[in-house]
Structure 1
Amino acid sequence: MALIKEIRQRTGLAIGVIAVGLILFLVGGDLLGPNSMLLGGQDTVVGEINGEEISYEEYVNRVEQIKQNYQRNTGRNPSENQLYSIREQAWQALMVEKVFTEQYQELGMIISDAELVDMVQGKNIVAELRQQLTNPETGEFDRQQLIAFLQSLENASPQQRAAWAQQEKVFADSRLRIKYDNLLASSSFANSEEAKLQHKMENAVADVQHLFVPYYVISDSAVNISDSELKAYLKEHSDRFEVSNARDIDYVQFNLHPSGEDTAAVVQDMNRLVADLKSTNNDSLFVLRNSQISTPFRTYRPGDMLPNTLSSNVEFPEEGKVYGPYITDRSSYVAYKVTDRFDGTPRMRASHILLSTEGMEGAEKEAVKQQAQDILNEIKETGNFAAAAQQYGQDGTARRGGDLGWFAKADFVEEFADATFAAKSTGLMDEIVETEYGYHIIKVTELPQTSSVKLATLELQLGPSEETRNEVFRNADYFAANSGNSQEFKDNAEEDGYRVMSANGLSPNARNLNNLSGARQVVRWAFAEASVGEVSEVFELDNAYVVATLKSKTKEGDASLDQVRSQVLAEVRKEKKAAKIKENLEGKESLEAMKEVYPEFASLGSTPDLKLNSNTIPGVGFAPKAIGAIFGLQEPGEMTPPIQEETGVIVAKLNSMTPAPEIADYTRYQNQLENTSSQRAAYMIMMAVEELADVKDYRYKFF
């Protein structure tokens, strides 16, 4: 009995140990990691925005919201790459909330109830909703699906209604950001003097001769540089040599390539499935069950390109036939079956230039109409629609020459759709079209087409089998187990014939090692866990196993001389060589005489059409300081002083200067500057916000 009692006591202990072990296995290693709250870790801050700490919990909750939206919209879990994108969206959303919301309130910017209704069920349904509610048969947005969904919300569960309310908030926040960006973009302004300068930069022409003396005319050994000089240079130019939080690692990559047996097995499976695809009566179900791609059955509408593997092998795929298998550049075998050819919803392609009249009435609106007519007349003369769209267009299509891509009639407001679909030929439309958004100048690039194709795609990946993976893993694991430090790592790699690769200057948020993608776990190990000289465990990436060793750590801030010695040395050496070259050229009155100082290496050249907006001189290279000096010369025959550039010293002589001709109206250049500025506005706003909000990102410690 005593023995039985002892066994029972031990069994209870064993069960407890096993239970704890299972919990740790299910929860993951983070529970015992450096940020573990279980072991008293306090580092639960993933970043700071505008002086406010962002907790791990707040950030993960935001990620989870976006992740759930993704799952609802796609019906599948996000991949690792998609999860990275979701995390970035969550971080951006927090920045908007912590910084931009305050700006919206100060400006009185809102999304009204009527505007929100229009975004989710009116004439201007947001693109995200259009993509979510697409008819799989036609590939077009299905308004009936939207109506049915909105009606179903009346009887939906509280969780479903809450999810829709959250989705509407996302739409509203996105629209507010667009309004804010557009507001600042529309404030972009260039005055008449800036326009005149732009005109001068584009049209003033200098005819010059130039002498170029490269730095290598003086050997490195001829220039003596002390540490004190390097330190003085670094101190004076410290802002140019700041270093970021970074890591340097060495790693050995154990590639996962399919063996000959693996390839033979895939080919055998592919041939069997191709035979079945030829005989099946349900193509879509067959490829959904057997193909290893996410969208194996798809409708290709006018404007959609058939897969290149098919179009490059078959000129006109016939309905009912199976083509392939072909090997792809994705390391897979693929075959196609044309399930159906039919006439679908007509789609066409056009470009436009929008001049907005929102909020305008009377004479102000009439002035915009006249401007649109003037632009139309200008295009008729020049024939360059794309350039005019970039210069005058007032919506997002301007940067791509006004191109709207392929669209169906239902995709646009009635006036625009009626006008474009009534076109009898391609080309510039004679009349301006007015809609609620303003006046449109339209160029039809493709007339309406209806021919559509349903295509079933059968694709099998050519990858390593489990047996091959296990063999490669055993090699990697043996190497890692026998490498206790960086020196043993190098010695073992040399002995076993493995190539050691380096990834230097890794940033905390890096996801790749050189060309090796999906390496986030290696980067996180280097930043969150590893000490210098430590060798990692085996990491499994998409197409390889990796074993790494940490070489060095760099903390963010001003660089020490040891960290940037080679860069500082190169800059100081250039300065000293430039000084010697200038000294040797002093007193020489012509470019030819200067060339004789370095007859073998100095070069003489001429540029008859140099412009002020250039930053390079033909035959010399990048030389912005020299170009600026050239356009500062006043008289023919005048020479610049010797000018130090990136690769050598330049002296230029002005032969003649053709000034930019005077013109009556500089509006074109003013618009050009304003458009360039407005197109960069969203990016510049985000950069400014991050700087002013002093955003600090510590997510690399957790993800």
Structure 2
Amino acid sequence: MALIGDIRKRSGLLTIIIGVALALFVLGDFFSNSSGPGSSRGNNIIAEINGEKILATDFNQRVEDNMEAQKLNTGKENLTADEQFQIRQQTWDQVVNETLLMEEVSKLGISVTTEELDDQIRGKNPHSYIVQSFRDPKTGQFDPASVVNFLQNLDKVDPQMKQRYLMIEKAIKEDRLNTKYRNLIGKAFYVPKAFAKRDYEARNTRMNVRYYGASYTNIADSLVKVTDADFEKFYNENKHKYQQEASRDIEYVTFDVLPSADDRDKINREVQGLYTEFTAADNMIAFVNSTSDERYDSAWKKKGSLPYQIDSLMFNSSIGTAFGPYIENNTFQMARLVDVQTRPDSLKASHILISYNGTNVNPDTKLTKEQAKAKADSVYKLVKTNGAKFDELAGTINDDQTASKSKGDLKWFADGSMVPAFNSAVLNGKIGDVTLVETQFGFHIIKITGKTAPIKKVRVAMVKRLIEPSSKTMQDVYTQASQFASEAKNMEGFTKLIEQKKLTKRLAERIGVDQNSLPGLPQARQIVIWSFNKDTEKGSISPVFDLEGRYMIAVLKDIREKGTPTLEQLKEYIEPMVKREKKAETLIASINKTIKSMADLEKGYALLGMKADTNEVTFASSNLPGYGKEDDVIGIMFTLKQGQMSKPVKGNQAVFIIVADQITPAPPKDDLTPEKRMLINAFATRAQREPAEALKRKAEIEDNRLLFY
């Protein structure tokens, strides 16, 4: 993250030295303490992939490494719960892919030699991970000398940095193995001339065709009666098309934990008493920090930037004026005018930053704080006497790598957006002044280059108290939820109880084992784990789940295991297709009865309400103009001879009668090189993206992650 961006956010600076390469390890926190749900079972096997056991402790270390890399890449100090969960999933995908890849390349004898790896790191054309990680901070260009210097001193560098480099080296090796494996598959594809000729003819043989469609919509669904035998027949013929991953359906009810009338009355009395103290407090910062839900904000506010309830009052009152309490966003708020000043709204400056070891600005610096101070003093004196030197030094010795690219220029920034010492120096100085200040980032030699015209600003102290439920209210709601769970007993009782208590029943369908949230419930992993527990049966009532502000009880409505779904699970979904089959039978019978030959066609299609179309079609086409995807219909078209009429053909959208009016063969062609190349390139593209998924489908994976998170 650029230094100036961090100064503006007034937070610590993390400089990414090995940023882009570590993006391969974009991942997060997991197993950070050993007392997770998996350890309680005394089981350290998180997975078994084709017989290879994956230890939870190894997975733990992998995720911890990835989490640190993610923090470096994003500049974040902490990751949200959703980010952490997503990172766990990405880590899992990495482990599975790498395990399967290593197994395959081992069988095939594919390897990366030491010399080859060294060439990827220090050769004439180094790997992109190296190029991205070793750039000159001033020019942004790859610096081969820095790679050599780094490797020569590898045993002397910070252990954490050494570990990051070894992660890059490992990633390069794995990338090379993966590239070789994919290339082996891609290059193994051969296109015989007969295949190329067939593809050429499929794309270039053309048929002028008439087709007459009897749409399934001509028969209302309500008129179609289907039997269990019809469902059974369709299911048995098509169940291979509906393979599924394991999933669960649940119904659930929530009990929101909201402040009671007593809670609101109690908070109101407390806030009224607090307001009296607020108006008389001498140390406003200490008072706000000890009584408010939010810490004291010292920012200067311009007109229009305060809440509408207090904006006009604060800009037209004397210091000490207070207002409140009032309620906004379910929060009691009170305000007091602390100070009024006329200040610029925006400032402009350039700077030269001299950091030291421990500031985390420039990991390469070896300067102590005292040495950095001495260097900053020297630079300050030089630019004070020779102003022309400022731009030169700001671009060459500046530890703020972003600012160094613009000769130290920070552009315009809002008053108050920099760290306090920096902001005050620019605010209190004159345009053209050069000054020296210290911040947590090091020592800044600052040249003030601009200020906007001063405007009236105010500093306002705010005390905020959230109106939240008391412990008693939370316990009362939990008791209600617990009573509901104990009385429900089963699915029928669950539904009946909801009706009696006039609660709202919600449904979550096809919950996947990897989900972390449900509709309206952002942190619902514990519910997913419960629903997939081997002891949770269909119709089971869950315990009470605490979901931060609400309690939830669920009933397991359906269980879908991986593989072929049951007819009952598919019945509602396939009903339109089953009815379509019955419609097709009816339409085919009508067409056969009415159109027996070409002579019956013109009169017959009109009598049956069929739609007539004429188009030119190739065998390689997937879409039939006017109807969409109709592969089977187009395939049957090209079995006809010129002038021949088909029997009724069942399609996706209609039943068709087809007449092949004219067939134009593909022009003769001897050189089929372009066709071969096109087929080879298409396969090569698939070879780049599909092997990993193919290996997963073939693999035997025992996934025990639900025991751990």
State the TM bucket, normalised to the shorter chain.
Answer: 0.5 to 0.7
Query: Which of the numbers 603, 608, 615 marks the counterpart of 2:611?
Result: 603
Q: Which moved more, 1:560-569 or 1:510-519?
A: 510-519
Mapping for residues 154-553 of structure 1, pairs under 5 Å: 154-156=155-157, 161=162, 164-220=165-221, 222-250=223-251, 260-261=328-329, 278-279=346-347, 281=349, 319-320=411-412, 467=466, 480=481, 483-484=484-485, 485=488, 501-513=506-518, 520-528=525-533, 532-535=539-542, 537=544, 547=552, 549=554, 550-553=556-559
Amino acid paired to 1:320? W
- Unaligned residue ranges in structure 1 (runs of 5+): 1-25, 290-296, 303-316, 326-464
Q: In structure 1, the residue corresponding to 2:657 is in which secondary structure?
A: strand
Aligned residue in 2 for 1:675: 681
Q: 1:152 to 1:667 in 2, by over 3 A?
A: same
Q: In structure 1, the residue corresponding to 2:116 is in which secondary structure?
A: helix
Cα deviation digits, residues 501-535 of structure 1 (max 9, x gap): 43211121134535876654543343248664535
Q: Which moved more, 1:640-649 or 1:562-571?
A: 562-571
Amino acid paired to 1:579? E
Amino acid paired to 1:555? E
Q: 1:494 to 1:183 in 2, by over 3 A?
A: same
Amino acid paired to 2:672? Y
User: Following the alignment from structure 1 to structure 2, what is the Cα–Cα distance between the partners of residues 83 and 551?
Assistant: 29
User: Following the alignment from structure 1 to structure 2, what is the Cα–Cα distance between the partners of residues 584 and 199?
Assistant: 39
User: Following the alignment from structure 1 to structure 2, what is the Cα–Cα distance between the partners of residues 159 and 109?
Assistant: 31
CA contact (8 A) 1:476 1:538 kept: no
Amino acid paired to 2:662? S
Query: Which of the numbers 605, 627, 633 marks the counterpart of 2:640?
Result: 633
Amino acid paired to 1:502? L
Q: Which moved more, 1:213-222 or 1:663-672?
A: 213-222
Q: In structure 2, the residue corresponding to 1:680 is in which secondary structure?
A: helix
Amino acid paired to 1:123? K
The TM-score with structure 2 as length reference comes to 0.59
User: Following the alignment from structure 2 to structure 1, what is the Cα–Cα distance between the partners of residues 344 and 504?
Assistant: 45
1:642 Cα deviation after fit: 1.3
CA contact (8 A) 1:230 1:572 kept: yes
User: Following the alignment from structure 1 to structure 2, what is the Cα–Cα distance between the partners of residues 164 and 597?
Assistant: 78
User: Following the alignment from structure 1 to structure 2, what is the Cα–Cα distance between the partners of residues 58 and 620?
Assistant: 55
Amino acid paired to 1:197? R
User: Following the alignment from structure 1 to structure 2, what is the Cα–Cα distance between the partners of residues 489 and 523?
Assistant: 19
Cα deviation digits, residues 639-660 of structure 1 (max 9, x gap): 2221112232122212222222
1:69 Cα deviation after fit: 4.7
CA contact (8 A) 2:32 2:60 kept: no
User: Following the alignment from structure 2 to structure 1, what is the Cα–Cα distance between the partners of residues 502 and 687?
Assistant: 52
CA contact (8 A) 2:31 2:60 kept: no
User: Following the alignment from structure 2 to structure 1, what is the Cα–Cα distance between the partners of residues 587 and 331?
Assistant: 64
Q: 1:645 to 1:491 in 2, by over 3 A?
A: same
CA contact (8 A) 1:211 1:591 kept: no
Amino acid paired to 2:637? I
Q: 1:29 to 1:136 in 2, by over 3 A?
A: closer
Indicate yes or no: 2:632 matched with 1:622.
no
Q: 1:659 to 1:277 in 2, by over 3 A?
A: farther
Q: Which moved more, 1:619-628 or 1:146-155?
A: 146-155
Q: Which has the larger radius of gyration?
A: 2
CA contact (8 A) 1:220 1:573 kept: yes
Indicate yes or no: 2:658 matched with 1:566.
no
CA contact (8 A) 2:47 2:701 kept: yes
Q: In structure 2, the residue corresponding to 1:114 is in which secondary structure?
A: helix
1:675 Cα deviation after fit: 0.7
The TM-score with structure 1 as length reference comes to 0.59
1:563 Cα deviation after fit: 1.6
Q: 1:678 to 1:249 in 2, by over 3 A?
A: same
Mapping for residues 647-658 of structure 1, pairs under 5 Å: 647-658=653-664
Q: 1:502 to 1:281 in 2, by over 3 A?
A: farther
1:116 Cα deviation after fit: 1.7
Indicate yes or no: 2:109 matched with 1:108.
yes
1:110 Cα deviation after fit: 2.1
Q: 1:497 to 1:299 in 2, by over 3 A?
A: farther
User: Following the alignment from structure 1 to structure 2, what is the Cα–Cα distance between the partners of residues 645 and 235?
Assistant: 20
CA contact (8 A) 1:210 1:606 kept: yes
Q: In structure 2, the residue corresponding to 1:320 is in which secondary structure?
A: strand
Q: 1:32 to 1:220 in 2, by over 3 A?
A: same
Amino acid paired to 2:641? Q
1:582 Cα deviation after fit: 0.8
Number of matched pairs: 499
1:250 Cα deviation after fit: 3.7
CA contact (8 A) 1:249 1:548 kept: no
Q: In structure 2, the residue corresponding to 1:279 is in which secondary structure?
A: strand
Amino acid paired to 2:412? G
CA contact (8 A) 1:476 1:547 kept: no
User: Following the alignment from structure 2 to structure 1, what is the Cα–Cα distance between the partners of residues 73 and 103?
Assistant: 30
User: Following the alignment from structure 1 to structure 2, what is the Cα–Cα distance between the partners of residues 149 and 469?
Assistant: 55
Aligned residue in 2 for 1:400: none
CA contact (8 A) 1:479 1:492 kept: no
Q: 1:585 to 1:499 in 2, by over 3 A?
A: same
User: Following the alignment from structure 1 to structure 2, what is the Cα–Cα distance between the partners of residues 188 and 546?
Assistant: 58
Aligned residue in 1 for 2:27: none
Q: In structure 2, the residue corresponding to 1:639 is in which secondary structure?
A: coil
